[in-house]
């Protein structure tokens, strides 16, 4: 059973140059250090050393994961007895198919993000495993049908326009989506290795996966081209200055869902905008500077989606796991657990 990251001293906030480095890696996660350094105005050695320092402090990290065409994603709100909350949190942080865990102010104390091979596997995970856990009182379940934005599309916006122009624009353009089935032989070892550190070299990946370097290069190129795999440069939200995570469930007219979901995704605070089938039809999550920002953000939601009904709103009290990464109470990155879709 994975354990939470050990208690750590209060971290320093990432500096402006640190955030610029994070944005460069958000835009082009595996770009050569020479290109990253040119974008942030330093040399390659300094950029790599600064990144190593951020990783070691748990302030930022880069991971990889399989994407929606190869995975069915579900969002679960779980209500439980108060005395069972701590035990359930620890238990669920140990499940490879539960890639994110949040403790919230909602009557559903836990908000979970799940990955499964297909709908049948997702049903088995929710009704067969989650529903049977001691202390669970109620489960609210929704299946994602389209993701307008998730964490890999959120930017810290620390680079000037001329700095962004240095980076390879193809890195942030949409790729051709060709649905593929999860192939354990090709993908699992590679995803586990890249999940721990998305900038591992081809030589390191070849050693970890027991493949030749040429096979690793071809496999990774195909996975990126077909959008089977995505990269995400993430950071500790509390010391970085976004301590508040606000979550919403909206109900929007069907003929306006795509427009509204896209408009909400374009709000700079939005980390998740996903159409779902469940109670409501849009799940939204945003990173904010302070609790009072919830009112302002919700006003902007209303402007982006006129007529939408807010069915639920909550603030995340703690996020002990994000995209397979265990987090400290301050949001510092700890050990990584590979995301393995339930079968």
Question: Does residue 72 sit in helix, strand or coil?
Answer: strand
Within 13 Å, how many C-alpha atoms sit on residue 27's CB side?
25
Instruction: Say what the pLDDT of residue 130 is.
Output: 93
E strand or H helix that includes residue 61: strand 60-66
The pLDDT tens digits of the residues spanning 228-269 come to: 788 899 999 999 999 999 999 999 999 999 999 999 999 999
- Cα pseudo-dihedral 54, 56, 59, 63, rounded to 10: 90
Instruction: Say what the pLDDT of residue 318 is.
Output: 96
Through-space distance between the first and last CA atoms of the chain, rounded to whole angstroms: 20
Q: Pairing between strand 244-251 and 325-327? A: unpaired
pLDDT less than 50: residues of the chain: 1-8, 170-182
User: What is the spatial distance between Cα 238 and Cα 235, in angstroms, rounded to a whole number?
Assistant: 9
pTM confidence score: 0.88
Place of tokens 């590679």: 190
Helices (H) and strands (E) counted in the chain, each on its own, are 11, 12
User: What is the spatial distance between Cα 248 and Cα 314, in angstroms, rounded to a whole number?
Assistant: 7
Instruction: Say what the pLDDT of residue 184 is.
Output: 55
Query: Which residues 6+ apart lie within 8 Å of 333 measured at CB?
Result: 5, 55, 58, 59, 60, 61, 234, 236, 325, 326, 327
Instruction: Say what the pLDDT of residue 208 is.
Output: 86
Instruction: Say what the pLDDT of residue 168 is.
Output: 57
CA-based nearest residue to 291, from 317, 319, 328, 329: 317
Go through 217-251 and write b for each residue having 16 or more CB atoms within 10 A of its CB, e for each that does not: eebbeebbebbbbbbbbbbbbbbbebbbbbbbbbe
User: What is the spatial distance between Cα 291 and Cα 66, in angstroms, rounded to a whole number?
Assistant: 33
User: What is the spatial distance between Cα 239 and Cα 60, in angstroms, rounded to a whole number?
Assistant: 10
Instruction: Say what the pLDDT of residue 185 is.
Output: 58
- Find out whether 110 and 89 touch, Cβ atoms under 8 Å: yes
- Find out whether 57 and 11 touch, Cβ atoms under 8 Å: yes
Query: Which residues 6+ apart lie within 8 Å of 122 measured at CB?
Result: 72, 74, 114, 116, 143, 342
Chain-centre distance for alpha carbon 261: 18
Q: Which two tokens stand for residue 147?
A: 């993701």
User: What is the spatial distance between Cα 165 and Cα 84, in angstroms, rounded to a whole number?
Assistant: 50
Instruction: Say what the pLDDT of residue 246 is.
Output: 98
Query: Which residues 6+ apart lie within 8 Å of 309 measured at CB?
Result: 250, 251, 252, 280
């Amino acid at each position: 059973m994975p354990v939470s990251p050990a208690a750590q001293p209060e971290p320093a906030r990432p500096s402006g140059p640190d955030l610029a480095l994070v944005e460069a890696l958000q835009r082009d996660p595996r770009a050569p250090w020479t290109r990253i350094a040119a974008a942030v105005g330093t040399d390659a050695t300094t950029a790599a050393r600064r990144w190593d320092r951020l990783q070691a402090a748990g302030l930022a990290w880069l991971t990889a994961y399989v994407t929606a065409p190869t995975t069915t994603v579900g969002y679960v709100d779980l209500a439980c007895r108060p005395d069972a909350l701590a035990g359930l949190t620890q238990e669920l942080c140990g499940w490879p198919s539960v890639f994110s865990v949040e403790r919230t102010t909602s009557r559903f104390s836990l908000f979970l993000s799940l990955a499964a091979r297909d709908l049948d596997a997702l049903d088995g995970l929710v009704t067969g495993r989650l529903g049977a856990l001691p202390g669970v009182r109620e489960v609210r379940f929704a299946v994602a049908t389209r993701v307008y934005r998730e964490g890999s599309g959120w930017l810290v916006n620390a680079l000037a326009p001329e700095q962004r122009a240095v980076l390879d624009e193809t890195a942030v353009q949409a790729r051709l989506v060709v649905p593929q089935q999860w192939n354990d032989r090709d993908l699992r070892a590679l995803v586990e290795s890249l999940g721990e550190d998305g900038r591992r070299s081809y030589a390191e990946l070849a050693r970890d996966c027991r493949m030749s370097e040429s096979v690793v290069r071809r496999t990774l190129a195909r996975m990126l081209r077909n959008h089977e795999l995505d990269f995400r440069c993430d950071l500790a939200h509390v010391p970085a200055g976004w301590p508040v995570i606000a979550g919403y469930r909206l109900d929007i007219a069907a003929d306006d869902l795509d427009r509204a979901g896209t408009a909400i995704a374009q709000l700079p605070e939005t980390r998740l905008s996903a159409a779902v089938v469940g109670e409501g039809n849009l799940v939204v999550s945003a990173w904010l500077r302070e609790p009072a920002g919830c009112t302002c953000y919700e006003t902007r939601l209303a402007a982006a989606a006129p007529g939408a009904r807010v069915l639920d709103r909550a603030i995340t009290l703690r996020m002990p796991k994000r995209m397979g990464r265990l987090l400290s109470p301050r949001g510092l990155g700890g050990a990584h657990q590979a995301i393995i879709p339930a079968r």
